[in-house]
Chain A
Amino acid sequence: MRSHVLRMTSSSRSAHVGSSLSAADLVAVLYGSVLRVDPNRPDWAGRDRLIISKGHAAAVTYAALAEAGFFSVDELAGYGRNGGKLFGHVTTGMPGIELSTGSLGHGLPVGVGMALAARRDEEPWRVFVIMSDGECDEGSNWEANLFAGHHHLDNLVAIVDYNKIQSLSFVEETLSLEPLADKWRAFGWDVVEVDGHNIPALMAILGEVPSVVGRPTAVIAHTIKGKGVSFMEGKVAWHYRSPDAEELERALAEVAAT
């Protein structure tokens, strides 16, 4: 998946490679072992919903859907290309995409509505929302947090890809989110913190939600922006830069070696 992301962002000269790499393990675990979805019936009414609220992590989302069999891996070559359907932000139209995003702070409220609908209809499906850390600046999330906590939506899971870097700078230097877990807890959520690149730990946590019955679950996933490529890891620049040919080769070699 990481090599898909590197090729897609390099060939289309597009931004957000670091954001896709930090979320890669989260998305992989969700599609690989957690979500009750069927690639052959992407609109199956009883499916779990995954909303990628950090819509700029589009490359990794399309890569995961392709690897999960929702569409051909060959389609990934059309990422960001004129006349294609794979936008630089997560966009409906490709099988498996639940919500078009890109403007931050939209996914959680919509996810709350889906979770509420499932609850009212006594349906067993669940809603997962992947958010960025910088996205937590948006006030709409905290409106949705209040609602989800108040209504005990334990069929809702928010996963914060906490890679500590936002657009211009580090989160801590922009608008500090700490203590982040306490904030979610104060809104009525159960909070689990995890290394967002520890596959077995993610499988254990995401495989057993809700972590507390009667509460929505917030998974604060501590991640590394640009994870998997040494010269991208933890660097603000790789929010916007895309790898050139030489950087792509080096990055692909590193990813292949792990």
Chain B
Amino acid sequence: MRTAFLGALFDAAANDPRICLVVGDLGYSVVERFAAAYPRQFVNAGVAEQDMTGLAAGMALSGKIVFTYSIANFPTLRALEQVRNDVCYHRANVKIVAVGGGLAYGNLGPSHHATEDLAIMRSLPEMTVIAPGDPIEAKLATLAVIEHDGPCYLRLGKAGEPAVHTTDPEFQIGRAITLREGSDVTMISTGAMLPTAVAAADLLSAGGLSVHLLSMHTVRPLDVEAVTAAATRSRYVVTIEEHSIAGGLGGAVAEAMSELPAERAQLNRIGLSPTFNRLVGDQSYLRSLHGLDVDSIVRTIEALVSQRPRPGGAGIP
């Protein structure tokens, strides 16, 4: 996703001198090409995220389209008040990009796990929150946020995620992309969980379940229409995210569904328990601890539809 983002940004910056990339001293071996090609559109703000975000707002208020770029929580939580007051309050045209959403930086530990970012960013007025599901969505999301006038948060995985889409889908901020059509269960995935969600959906379908699958790349504004349709059509709605189950995609979907008439689908949120990981692990290992691997998701949904107790993942110590 990082490669797709930087590729799309590089191409767009050639045609639009307003586009600037401001990095927080991160992006070794991947941002140099941009810096060399567009020195007037590149800034390394140093290890200083508050200043990075404030100065990005200042540049945006002077006519630029500014991308801030760092990893995990550094461009969001570290500079949260700058994001709120300088960027959102002024509706400044700043696009905050975090690489390493969720548990992508696995064994670097919880300081590098972005696991509450979607919840926090989606609570800020004026902020659009996007977590693309694969490199193709990452490219399309990059182009979409350039066109969108106002603050955006773009949560990316790292590099090397498989492509789910074989061609460019129609990508619109705030509109879910349908990947599978079915009626028993609607799975709603956001961010880098998409390939896992697709694999789980296909296993469940092979087992005889009729599964609908949405890529909810935009967490805010949420595609309430798609959620309403899912809650009306299906018996079960399952959200899947590499993020705390508190306040992220699952929270947003729960809020939307809670205002629907009582005859609606049952909701199940699959995500990270709101705890800190106390064990070392790579992304795949940590996902499995939280029940975010293909097998755990399949078992969770099978148990849901048969109303057995939820097995969950290997278990959080």
Closest to B40 in A: A120
Query: Which residue of A102, A110, A144 is within 8 Å of B61 (Cβ)?
Result: A110
Number of A residues, CB within 8 Å of B: 29
Q: Per a CB cutoff under 8 Å, which of B43, B48, B50, B81 touches A116?
A: B43
A139 to B53, alpha carbons, bound, how many Å?
14
- Binary CB contact string for chain B from 50 to 94 against chain A (1 if under 8 A, 0 otherwise): 110111111111111000000000000000011001100110000
Is there a chain B Cβ closer than 8 Å to A245's Cβ? Answer: no
A residues 132-178 in Cβ contact with B at 8 Å: 139-140, 143-144, 146-147
> Using Cβ atoms and an 8 Å threshold, which residues of chain B touch A103?
81, 85
- Interface majority SS (helix, strand, loop, mixed), chain A: helix
- A30 contacts B by Cβ under 8 Å: no
Asked if B55 and A100 sit within 8 Å, CB to CB, the answer is no
Tally B residues with Cβ within 8 Å of A.
Answer: 26
| From B40, B55, B81, contact of A113 by CB (8 A) | B55
Give the distance in Å from the alpha carbon of A78 to the alpha carbon of B58 in the complex. Answer: 29
Q: Does B160 contact A (CB under 8 A)?
A: no
A146 touches B85 (CB 8 A): no
Q: Which residues of A have CB within 8 Å of B50?
A: 105, 109, 139-140, 143
> Interface code A48-63, partner B: CB below 8 Å = 1, 0 otherwise?
0000000000000000
Return chain B residues, CB-CB under 8 Å to A118. Answer: 62
Answer yes or no: A114 CB below 8 A from chain B CBs.
yes
Q: Which residues of B contact A18 (CB under 8 A)?
A: none
> Chain B's nearest CB lies how many Å from the CB of A185?
19
Task: Report how far A231 CA is from B255 CA in the complex, Å.
Answer: 55
Residues A146 and B46 in contact, CB atoms below 8 Å apart: yes
User: Is A106 part of the contact surface with B, judged by Cβ < 8 Å?
Assistant: yes
A147 pairs with B82, CB closer than 8 A? no
- Contact between A109 and B85 (Cβ–Cβ < 8 Å)? no
Fill in one digit per residue for A80-107: 1 if any B CB lies within 8 Å of its CB, else 0: 0000000000001000001111110110
A108: which B residues are within 8 A, CB to CB? 54
Q: Quick check: is A213 within 8 A (CB to CB) of the other chain?
A: no
When distances are taken between beta carbons in the complex, the residues of chain A under 8 Å from B51 are 109, 112, 140, 143-144, 146-147
Q: Does A117 contact B (CB under 8 A)?
A: yes
Say yes or no for A234: interface residue by CB 8 A criterion.
Answer: no
Which residues of chain B (215-272) have a CB below 8 Å from chain A?
none
Q: How far is the CA of A110 from the CA of B63 in the complex (A)?
A: 13
Complex: chain A residue closest to B56, CB-CB:
A113
Closest B residue by C-beta to A107: B54
Q: Across the interface, do A112 and B55 meet the contact criterion of CB distance under 8 Å?
A: yes
**Residue ID in chain A nearest B41 by CB atoms:** A120
Check A114 against B59 for contact (C-beta < 8 Å).
yes
What residues of B have a CB within 8 angstroms of the CB of A228 in the complex? none
Contacts of B63 in A (CB 8 A): 45, 117, 121
B54 touches A106 (CB 8 A): yes
Chain A residues in the interface with B (C-beta under 8 A):
45, 92, 98-103, 105-106, 108-118, 120-121, 139-140, 143-144, 146-147
> A-B pairs with the 6 shortest C-beta distances?
A113-B58, A109-B54, A113-B55, A143-B51, A117-B62, A143-B48
A–B complex contacts, Cβ < 8 Å, 10 sampled: A45-B63, A100-B90, A113-B58, A116-B58, A116-B59, A117-B58, A120-B41, A121-B63, A140-B50, A146-B48
- Given contact pairs A113-B55, A115-B58, A140-B50, enumerate 6 new A-B contacts (beta carbons under 8 Å): A105-B50, A109-B54, A110-B61, A114-B62, A140-B82, A143-B51
